[in-house]
């Protein structure tokens, strides 16, 4: 029997319709489970927030913990007329704020429907307890426990970073990871390790009836998901040192960065003025105040500010000269209050002359390093000053300058080291020579480095030629760090060259007053500190005070850089601060003889010297 | 009163029955859209800020369009401009990829002021017209390879562009044209092959590649033997082979377990345990045997056997069995690839949920779960118009567009669903009957194109709301909210009606 094709298709149509109807018959009439689900009306997801991971310092001390706070939630549909004054009194909020909020809910009632809104955020437990006693008088209102950040030590707001509610832009950038109302780390360590710290939200599914009342667990909790608490983070920070650094830097503008040279671990990272940890917990409330502060406390100077390095950069120039073979430690150069070229001169301070390399570092002679850079750039090995300069730049970059170091700290900037092309653009090809860029000899001119990079230079010198990329998170259970933080990065200068400048750094600190050493103030008996001062010109007022040092001389435990804006000579402020921190770190206390120095630093107020924007 | 020159009047020769069904569906759709947006804060059905009010505007404009098609546009124009219209829409389809707005990840909408429209919808009209035009040419033979490829290309071009717009659902509708091609003489094995391909895909994902290939071998060989009327011989040869191979995995596992204790853990245990198991017995290498290759190797001799027999007996049907087998095996092996690499995440999710590979009541499963609760709770007669709880509290997403059928199911119950499906069946049935009665090939083929499109939309959309199909976002024709879709089906239906009428005028 042959059936016509059109009939076959019509039969197919009827069969498909029958399949659909059979299925409908099954779920609508035979199977009761859907009706049960529907009378229960539907599932409510009760989100469970994980506790955020705790942040520890390197010695296991908690620097950021959690504490309990309560949000007051309201389901506008369920609210009945209530005593506004009583509620305001209990919650300790202005009556007006309750009235405006309720008016707003009323206006948007269509959009809100049966949703529950957050009315007041982060009320302390005591307030909530008072509310809980009278909660029965306020149908529709309830408290929801939330965990917020707690800061047992003052480790500096810029380092730790703050946690705040995600905004629309953030949600868009991280699709599917957050819902509005979630909190996320926005700066500092909180942002750097947001993925580990935040944990995973969970939920309980409940069934609710058509009057929006919770009836039971959906399928006995089979589909529920428990919240996974965030991972704890162990940082490389030394809380005691960090806190001490914060105190020393109070009322001064600048940064201090300390690194453990043998690992690249950042021991402390102070940016001053910074955000107070008291403000961090409730950043939203203080946001306006912080943003309008003329000293820009949000700006993390330690990793973002590009400063001229000043004389500490002489170490780099000296090392390059040694490696290029245009400098030997025994070479002496004369200096008569500076380096004279034509009718001009690059000035220097009064010291004896001539000096060899060690003495030039010890006394920070400008003239000497003009000769060094001159010999480097006018080296016959290179056809012209451009190619010699390019080689010089390669060396400088190998020290981690001119680019981001790649630390795990967010928002790090890279500073600038000019290229020969840059000078070609300004002066024309062949239109510039050594004397045009002579300021680079002493770390001035078109050069910008961050305090982190300066500290890294110090660590590199302390390690005799290599560094580990500075980082703030230690490996711990459940938290891995990028293998790049475990690799030695060698500079282009041989390790054998470094002891030649280290001798100079040692003598700069340990030669005693009257010897001409620039950093005698930093000397601590028995600690063998090696250091180099810097005084960098600042076009906006007094010179910046710079100091780097590490100790002890053999197997250094700490390398530190202090950079203070408009604070004058390196020896005046930066050297005391850095050496006090070293002393604190290595001995745990400040010796009696140095107490007056500590006193002077703690009391020093340099804020007025800094020009505000 | 017949008028020899003007032909019969529109009152006499027009298929008023279809118009009635059309209007019924549109009005039912509109009322249900109102129910879908209806919430605990009542508002008017003419509230133009809501979908129901807007739909009213769409319905009025659609009726104006219908009138234009009936009375103003000369019916002959459709055939003569079909190539032009088709090309124009292809241009629009490509342009929308670059100029369109991004809606839920697909770039298929033009936005002109507040109005948005989707060229993928109109393309159904123009593709149908062009297909009708080409296939109705006197020297066109669908069985000729060249002609078949031409028809296939006309379908594939807009389909592929729509896939590129990430509107896979709309593209799937084009597969329906195969029913029209079948009516016009395409081999029925084509339909069978597509069915087999879908079966293979599902089997590979739910069971295993092994099962899937075994089923292909069984079906293809069975069909070949049945074609020659030799079922008993199949039973004695392939029947036994398939039976043995079906049992093999079980036997093999039992044997291995006896020879190599712990063999069943291989591939699941950690590498250290695995190593320990493998080094425990001299039979260990056997545990590495992949039965899939055993199956392929034993099935291999069948290929020359089929080829030689088909050559000797001049039986091309048997010859086709070999490429079918090979294509089937290739499909099995590429399924994983297609599934994991070609399909987008959300599509993969929906298929996994549908096949029960994954339970996900919050994600992809949410829509279906909610929609089935809504429909299932309707019972025999429903909860009454505007009294659906699911519908009122907005638990079902996309309720006035793709999930409009939920509202029908919840508020009107099985009776309502039955009526709506019946109306669709009558509509499609009526179109097919009219098409069959037509003397004009163009009208007939166009009618089948229209019926195919309606059928695909109907099956996919309703199938999706009751968990028979994965969640594929295409509207329910005439009922779902949305101007593009309503206009398209209005235009398609009225072109058919006017063509049909034009012809009946004189015969």
DSSP secondary structure string, A244-271? HHHHHTTT--EEEEEEETTTTEEEEEEE
- When computed from its CA atoms, the radius of gyration of chain B, rounded to whole angstroms, is 27
User: Mean pLDDT over residues A275-290, rounded?
Assistant: 79
Which residues, at least 6 apart from B263, have a Cβ–Cβ distance to it below 8 Å?
Answer: B253, B256, B257, B277, B287
Check: CB of residue A361 under 8 Å from CB of residue A332.
no
Q: How far is A104 from chain B (nearest CA, A)?
A: 17
Tell me how many domains chain A contains: 2
Per the CB < 8 Å rule, is B421 touching A19?
Answer: no
Per the CB < 8 Å rule, is B179 touching A43?
Answer: no
How many CA atoms are closer than 13 Å to the CA of B191, on its beta-carbon side? Answer: 16
Q: Is the bond preceding A273 in cis, omega lying within 30 degrees of 0? A: yes
The pLDDT, as a whole number, for residue A344 is: 87
The pLDDT, as a whole number, for residue A40 is: 46
Q: How confident is the model at residue A201 (pLDDT cuts 50, 70, 90)?
A: confident
For residues A59 and A199, state if they share a domain: yes
SS3 B296: helix
Q: What is the DSSP letter of B237?
A: I
Q: A29: which chain B residues are within 8 Å (Cβ-Cβ)?
A: 379-380, 414
Check: CB of residue A299 under 8 Å from CB of residue A307.
no
| Nearest of A369, A361, A367 to residue A507 by alpha carbon | A361
pLDDT above 70 as % of chain B: 86
- 3-state helix vs strand vs coil in chain A, percent to 5: 40, 20, 40
Q: What is the DSSP letter of A476?
A: B
> In terms of residues, how long is chain B?
507
Q: What are the φ/ψ torsions at residue B48 (nearest 5 degrees)? A: -75, -5
Q: A5: which chain B residues are within 8 Å (Cβ-Cβ)?
A: 182-183
Q: Does A475 touch chain B (CB under 8 A)?
A: no
The string of pLDDT tens digits covering residues B444-490 is: 999 999 999 999 999 999 998 888 887 777 899 999 998 889 999 99
User: Mean pLDDT over residues A265-291, rounded?
Assistant: 84
> Has residue B116 got a pLDDT over 90?
no
Beta-strand runs (E) in B355-418: none
The string of pLDDT tens digits covering residues A455-478 is: 999 999 999 999 999 999 998 887
Q: Does B361 touch chain A (CB under 8 A)?
A: yes
Q: B417: which chain A residues are within 8 Å (Cβ-Cβ)?
A: 21, 24, 28
> Has residue A1 got a pLDDT over 50?
no
CA distances to A111, A320, A335, B77, B237 from A179, in Å: 18, 53, 66, 55, 62
Rounded mean pLDDT of chain B? 82
User: Mean pLDDT over residues B233-247, rounded?
Assistant: 86
Q: What is the DSSP letter of B46?
A: T
The pLDDT, as a whole number, for residue B289 is: 77
For residues A224 and A253, state if they share a domain: no
How wide is the angle at C-alpha B227 spanned by C-alphas B226 and B232, nearest 5°? 30
A33 found inside a domain: no
Q: A43: which chain B residues are within 8 Å (Cβ-Cβ)?
A: 361
Best interface-test mutation with B: which of A15, A17, A39, A212 has the largest number of B CBs within 10 A? A17
Q: How far is A32 from chain B (nearest CA, A)?
A: 8
> Has residue B426 got a pLDDT over 90?
yes
Q: How confident is the model at residue B275 (pLDDT cuts 50, 70, 90)?
A: low
> Has residue B341 got a pLDDT over 60?
yes
CA torsion B370-B373-B375-B378 (nearest 10°) is -140
Q: Which residue among A27, A41, A210 places its CB closest to the CB of B372?
A: A27
> Has residue B394 got a pLDDT over 60?
no
Beta-strand runs (E) in A177-238: 183-185, 202-208, 214-217, 233-234
Q: Is the bond preceding A354 in cis, omega lying within 30 degrees of 0? A: yes
Between A226 and A253, residue with greater pLDDT: A253
Q: Which residue among A16, A38, A203 places its CB closest to the CB of B377?
A: A38
Burial (CB < 10 A; 0-12, 13-18, 19+), residue B215, is buried
For residues A495 and A599, state if they share a domain: yes
Q: How many whole angstroms separate alpha carbon B450 and alpha carbon B437?
A: 15
Q: Which residue among B394, B414, B424 places its CB closest to the CB of A24?
A: B414
User: Mean pLDDT over residues B317-338, rounded?
Assistant: 80
Residue in B closest to A176 by C-alpha: B363
Q: How many whole angstroms separate alpha carbon A434 and alpha carbon A389?
A: 9
> Has residue A404 got a pLDDT over 50?
yes
Q: Which residue among B378, B425, B459 places its CB closest to the CB of A28?
A: B378
What are the helix (H) ranges across B174-270?
A: 177-183, 188-206, 209-227, 231-234, 240-259
Q: A37: which chain B residues are within 8 Å (Cβ-Cβ)?
A: 373, 376-377
Q: If contacts are CB pairs under 8 Å, which of residues 17-46 in chain A contact chain B? A: 17, 19-21, 23-25, 27-29, 31, 33-35, 37-39, 41-43, 45
Burial per residue of A151-179, b for 16 or more beta-carbon CB atoms within 10 angstroms, e otherwise: bebbbbbbbbbbbbbbeeebbeeeeebbe
| Nearest of A217, A189, A190, A213 to residue A205 by alpha carbon | A217
Q: Residue A112 sits in a domain of what CATH number? A: 3.90.1310.10
The pLDDT, as a whole number, for residue B383 is: 79
Six-digit token string for B468:
């028979």
- When computed from its CA atoms, the radius of gyration of chain A, rounded to whole angstroms, is 33
> Has residue B347 got a pLDDT over 80?
no
What are A551's strand-pairing partners? A558
Q: If contacts are CB pairs under 8 Å, which of residues 376-435 in chain B contact chain A? A: 376-380, 389-390, 393-395, 409-410, 413-414, 417-418, 421-422, 424-425, 428-429, 432
Q: Which ipTM score applies to this complex?
A: 0.82
CA distances to B129, B433, B502, B505 from B498, in Å: 14, 15, 6, 10
Q: Which residue among B389, B436, B467 places its CB closest to the CB of A210?
A: B389
Best interface-test mutation with A: which of B185, B358, B373, B378 has the largest number of A CBs within 10 A? B373
Residue with tokens 């505000």: A612
DSSP secondary structure string, B245-265? HHHHHHHHHHHHHHHSTTGGG
> Has residue A523 got a pLDDT over 70?
yes
The pLDDT, as a whole number, for residue A604 is: 87
For residues A465 and A354, state if they share a domain: yes
The pLDDT, as a whole number, for residue B270 is: 47
Q: How far is A169 from chain B (nearest CA, A)?
A: 18
Q: How confident is the model at residue A270 (pLDDT cuts 50, 70, 90)?
A: very high
Q: How many whole angstroms separate alpha carbon B220 and alpha carbon B318?
A: 9
A317 found inside a domain: yes
A32 found inside a domain: no
Q: A19: which chain B residues are within 8 Å (Cβ-Cβ)?
A: 468
Domain ranges of chain B: 3-166+348-504, 194-343
Residue in A closest to B184 by C-alpha: A5
User: Mean pLDDT over residues B398-427, rounded?
Assistant: 91
CA distances to A86, A302, A569, B165 from A257, in Å: 52, 7, 19, 53
Q: Which residue among A28, A31, A38 places its CB closest to the CB of B414?
A: A28
- 3-state helix vs strand vs coil in chain B, percent to 5: 70, 5, 25
> Has residue B82 got a pLDDT over 90?
yes
Q: Which residue among B183, B376, B395 places its CB closest to the CB of A27?
A: B376
Q: How many whole angstroms separate alpha carbon B114 and alpha carbon A30?
A: 45
The pLDDT, as a whole number, for residue A39 is: 47
User: Mean pLDDT over residues A593-598, rounded?
Assistant: 92
| Nearest of A581, A516, A593 to residue A551 by alpha carbon | A581
For residues A454 and A483, state if they share a domain: yes
Lowest mean pLDDT among B14-28, B29-43, B69-83, B269-283: B269-283
pLDDT above 90 as % of chain B: 29
User: Mean pLDDT over residues B55-72, rounded?
Assistant: 92
Helices and strands counted in chain A (H then E): 23, 19
> Has residue A61 got a pLDDT over 80?
yes
Rounded mean pLDDT of chain A? 87
Q: A13: which chain B residues are within 8 Å (Cβ-Cβ)?
A: 425, 428-429, 432, 455
Q: Which residue among B183, B390, B394 places its CB closest to the CB of A9?
A: B183
Per the CB < 8 Å rule, is B377 touching A33?
Answer: no
> Has residue A274 got a pLDDT over 70?
yes
Q: Quickly count: other Cβ atoms within 10 Å of residue B211's Cβ.
A: 17
For residues A189 and A298, state if they share a domain: no
Six-digit token string for A98:
């309750």
Residue in B closest to A29 by C-alpha: B379
Which of A204, A234, A264 delimits the end of a domain?
Answer: A234
Check: CB of residue A54 under 8 Å from CB of residue A62.
yes
SS3 A88: helix
Q: How far is A105 from chain B (nearest CA, A)?
A: 15
The string of pLDDT tens digits covering residues B164-185 is: 887 878 888 998 999 999 898 8
What are the helix (H) ranges across A327-476?
A: 357-363, 366-377, 385-398, 420-427, 451-462
Which of A200, A234, A268 delimits the end of a domain?
Answer: A234
For residues A228 and A301, state if they share a domain: no
Per the CB < 8 Å rule, is B41 touching A109?
Answer: yes
Q: Which residue among B373, B417, B429 places its CB closest to the CB of A37?
A: B373
For residues A121 and A49, state if they share a domain: yes
Which residues, at least 6 apart from A498, have a Cβ–Cβ distance to it below 8 Å?
Answer: A319, A461, A464, A465
For residues A269 and A170, state if they share a domain: no
Q: How far is A35 from chain B (nearest CA, A)?
A: 4
> Has residue B264 got a pLDDT over 60?
no
Per the CB < 8 Å rule, is A35 touching B362?
Answer: no
The model's pTM: 0.56
Domain, as residue range, for A244 = 239-609
Q: Which of A29-38, A83-92, A177-186, B273-282 has the highest mean pLDDT?
A: A83-92
Residue in B closest to A31 by C-alpha: B376
The pLDDT, as a whole number, for residue A321 is: 94
The pLDDT, as a whole number, for residue B376 is: 86
The string of pLDDT tens digits covering residues A416-429 is: 999 999 999 989 88
CA distances to A78, A95, A138, A142 from A86, in Å: 18, 9, 10, 15
Check: CB of residue A450 under 8 Å from CB of residue A436.
no
Q: Which residue among A13, A16, A42 places its CB closest to the CB of B429?
A: A13
Which H helix or E strand runs over B116? Answer: strand B115-117
CA distances to A305, A308, A537, B36 from A563, in Å: 10, 10, 12, 66
Lowest mean pLDDT among A259-268, A272-281, A354-363, A377-386: A272-281
Per the CB < 8 Å rule, is B373 touching A38?
Answer: yes
The pLDDT, as a whole number, for residue A564 is: 93
SS3 A513: coil
> In terms of residues, how long is chain A?
613
> Has residue B320 got a pLDDT over 80?
no
Best interface-test mutation with A: which of B376, B426, B437, B457 has the largest number of A CBs within 10 A? B376
Q: How many whole angstroms separate alpha carbon B435 and alpha carbon B500?
A: 8
Six-digit token string for A266:
């950042």
Which residues, at least 6 apart from B192, have a Cβ–Cβ distance to it below 8 Å?
Answer: none
Between B281 and A81, residue with greater pLDDT: A81
Q: Does B142 touch chain A (CB under 8 A)?
A: no
Q: Residue A287 sits in a domain of what CATH number? A: 3.40.710.10
Q: How many whole angstroms separate alpha carbon B499 and alpha carbon B502?
A: 5
Per the CB < 8 Å rule, is B393 touching A31?
Answer: no
Q: Which of A86-90, A283-287, B190-194, B225-229 has the highest mean pLDDT?
A: A86-90
For residues A204 and A260, state if they share a domain: no
CA B430 distance to own-chain centroid? 21
Q: How many whole angstroms separate alpha carbon B28 and alpha carbon B75?
A: 29
Q: How confident is the model at residue A554 (pLDDT cuts 50, 70, 90)?
A: very high
Q: Which residue among B361, B429, B466 places its CB closest to the CB of A24?
A: B466
Q: How far is B193 from chain A (nearest CA, A)?
A: 16
Q: Which of A259-268, A282-291, B141-150, B400-409 has the highest mean pLDDT?
A: A259-268
Per the CB < 8 Å rule, is B41 touching A110?
Answer: yes
Q: Does B436 touch chain A (CB under 8 A)?
A: yes
Per the CB < 8 Å rule, is B421 touching A20?
Answer: yes
Beta-strand runs (E) in A434-590: 466-467, 489-490, 530-536, 544-551, 558-564
Between B38 and A576, residue with greater pLDDT: A576
Which residues, at least 6 apart from B313, have a Cβ–Cβ distance to it below 8 Å?
Answer: none
Which of A216, A234, A252 delimits the end of a domain?
Answer: A234
Q: Does B455 touch chain A (CB under 8 A)?
A: yes
Per the CB < 8 Å rule, is A23 touching B394?
Answer: no
Q: Does A292 touch chain B (CB under 8 A)?
A: no
pLDDT above 70 as % of chain A: 94
């Amino acid at each position: 029997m042959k059936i016509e094709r059109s009939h076959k298709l019509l039969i197919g149509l009827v069969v498909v319709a029958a399949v659909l109807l059979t299925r409908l018959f099954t779920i609508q009439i035979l199977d009761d489970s859907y009706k049960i689900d529907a009378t229960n009306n539907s599932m409510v997801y009760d989100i469970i927030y994980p506790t955020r991971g705790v942040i520890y310092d390197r010695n296991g001390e908690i620097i950021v913990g959690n504490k309990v706070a309560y949000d007051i939630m309201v389901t506008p549909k369920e609210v009945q007329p209530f005593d506004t004054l009583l509620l305001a009194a209990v919650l300790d909020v202005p009556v007006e704020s309750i009235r405006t909020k309720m008016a707003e809910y009323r206006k948007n009632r269509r959009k809100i429907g049966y949703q529950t809104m957050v009315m007041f955020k982060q009320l302390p437990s005591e307030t909530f307890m008072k509310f809980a006693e009278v909660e029965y008088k306020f149908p529709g209102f309830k408290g929801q426990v939330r965990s917020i950040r707690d800061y047992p030590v003052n480790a500096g707001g810029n380092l730790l970073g703050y946690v705040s509610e995600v905004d629309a832009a953030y949600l868009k950038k991280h699709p599917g990871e957050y819902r509005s109302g979630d909190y996320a780390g926005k700066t500092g360590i909180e942002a750097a390790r947001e993925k580990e710290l935040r944990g995973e939200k969970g939920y309980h599914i409940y069934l609710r009836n058509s009057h929006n009342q919770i009836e039971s667990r959906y399928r006995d909790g089979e589909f529920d998901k428990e919240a996974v608490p965030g991972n704890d983070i162990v940082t490389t920070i030394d809380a005691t040192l960090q806190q001490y650094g914060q105190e020393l830097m109070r009322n001064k503008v600048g940064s201090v960065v300390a690194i453990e040279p043998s690992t690249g671990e950042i021991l402390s990272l102070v940016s001053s003025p910074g955000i107070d940890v008291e403000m961090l917990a409730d950043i939203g409330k203080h946001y306006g105040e912080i943003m309008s502060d003329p000293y820009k406390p949000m700006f993390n100077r330690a990793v973002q500010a590009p400063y001229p390095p000043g004389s500490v950069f002489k170490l780099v120039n000296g090392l390059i000269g040694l490696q290029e073979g245009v400098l030997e430690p025994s070479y002496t150069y004369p200096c008569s209050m500076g380096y004279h070229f034509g009718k001009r001169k690059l000035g220097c301070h009064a010291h004896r002359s001539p000096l060899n390399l060690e003495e030039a570092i010890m006394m920070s002679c400008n003239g000497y390093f003009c000769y060094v850079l001159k010999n480097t750039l006018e080296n016959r090995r290179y056809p012209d000053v451009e190619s010699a300069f390019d080689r010089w730049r390669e060396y400088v970059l190998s020290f981690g300058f001119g680019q981001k170091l790649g630390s795990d700290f967010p928002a790090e900037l890279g500073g600038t080291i000019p290229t020969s092309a840059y000078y070609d653009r300004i002066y024309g090809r062949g239109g510039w020579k050594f004397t045009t860029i002579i300021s680079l000899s002493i770390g001035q001119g078109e050069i910008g480095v961050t305090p982190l990079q300066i500290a890294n230079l110090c660590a590199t010198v302390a390690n005799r030629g290599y560094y580990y990329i500075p980082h703030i998170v230690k490996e711990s259970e459940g938290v891995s760090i990028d293998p790049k933080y475990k690799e030695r990065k060698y500079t282009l200068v041989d390790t054998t060259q470094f002891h030649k400048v280290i001798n100079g750094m040692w003598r700069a600190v340990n030669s005693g007053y009257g010897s001409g050493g620039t950093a005698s103030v930093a000397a601590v008996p028995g600690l063998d500190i090696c250091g180099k001062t810097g005084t960098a010109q600042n076009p906006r007022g007094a010179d910046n005070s710079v100091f780097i040092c590490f100790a002890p001389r053999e197997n250094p435990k700490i390398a530190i850089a202090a950079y203070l804006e408009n604070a004058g000579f390196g020896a005046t402020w930066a050297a005391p601060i850095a050496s006090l921190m070293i002393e604190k770190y290595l001995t745990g206390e400040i010796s009696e003889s140095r107490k007056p120095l500590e006193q002077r630093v703690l009391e020093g107020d340099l804020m007025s010297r800094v020009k505000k924007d | 009163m017949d008028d020899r020159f003007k032909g019969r009047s529109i009152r006499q020769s027009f298929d008023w029955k279809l118009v009635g069904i059309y209007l019924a569906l549109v009005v039912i759709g509109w009322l249900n859209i109102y129910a879908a947006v209806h919430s605990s804060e009542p508002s008017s059905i003419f509230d133009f800020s809501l979908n129901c009010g807007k739909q009213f505007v769409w319905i009025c404009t659609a009726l104006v369009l219908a009138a234009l098609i009936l009375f103003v546009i000369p019916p002959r124009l459709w055939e003569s401009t079909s190539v032009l219209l088709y090309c124009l829409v292809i241009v629009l389809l490509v342009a929308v990829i670059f100029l369109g707005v991004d809606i839920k990840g697909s770039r298929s909408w033009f936005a002109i002021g507040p109005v948005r429209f989707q060229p993928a919808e109109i393309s159904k009209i123009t593709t149908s017209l062009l297909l009708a035009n080409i296939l109705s040419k006197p020297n066109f033979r669908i069985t000729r390879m060249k002609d078949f490829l031409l028809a296939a290309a006309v379908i594939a071009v807009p389909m592929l562009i729509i896939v590129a717009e990430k509107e896979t659902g709309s593209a799937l509708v084009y597969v329906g044209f195969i029913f029209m091609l079948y009516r016009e003489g395409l081999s029925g094995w084509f339909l069978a092959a597509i069915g087999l391909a879908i079966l293979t895909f599902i089997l590979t994902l739910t069971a295993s590649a092994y099962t899937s290939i075994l089923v292909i071998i069984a079906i293809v060989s069975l069909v070949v033997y049945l074609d020659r009327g030799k079922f008993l011989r199949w039973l004695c040869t392939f029947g036994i082979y398939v039976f043995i191979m079906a049992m093999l995995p079980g036997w093999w596992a039992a044997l291995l377990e006896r020879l190599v204790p712990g063999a069943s853990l291989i591939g699941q245990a950690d590498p250290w345990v695995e190593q320990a198991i493998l080094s425990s017995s001299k039979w260990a290498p056997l545990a590495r045997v992949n039965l899939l290759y055993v199956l392929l190797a034993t099935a291999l001799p069948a290929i020359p056997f089929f080829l030689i027999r088909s050559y000797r007996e001049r039986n091309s049907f048997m010859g086709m069995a070999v490429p079918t087998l090979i294509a089937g095996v290739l499909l099995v092996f590429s399924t994983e690839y297609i599934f994991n690499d070609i399909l987008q995440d959300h599509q993969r999710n929906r298929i996994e949920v549908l096949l029960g590979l994954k339970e996900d009541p919050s994600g992809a499963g949410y829509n279906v779960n909610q929609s089935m609760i809504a429909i299932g709770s309707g019972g025999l007669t429903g909860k009454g118009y505007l009294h659906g709880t699911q519908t009122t509290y907005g638990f079902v997403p996309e309720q006035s567009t793709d999930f409009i059928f939920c509202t029908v199911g919840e508020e009107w119950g099985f009776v309502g669903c039955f009526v709506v499906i019946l109306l669709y069946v009558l509509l499609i049935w009526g179109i097919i009957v009219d098409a069959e009665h037509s003397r004009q090939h163009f009208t007939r083929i166009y009618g089948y194109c229209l019926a195919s499109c309606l059928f695909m939309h109907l099956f996919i959309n309703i199938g999706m709301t009751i968990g028979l199909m994965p969640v594929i976002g295409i509207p329910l024709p005439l009922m779902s909210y949305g101007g593009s879709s309503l206009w398209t089906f209005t235009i398609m239906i009225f072109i058919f009606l006017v063509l049909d009428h034009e012809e009946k005028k004189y015969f």
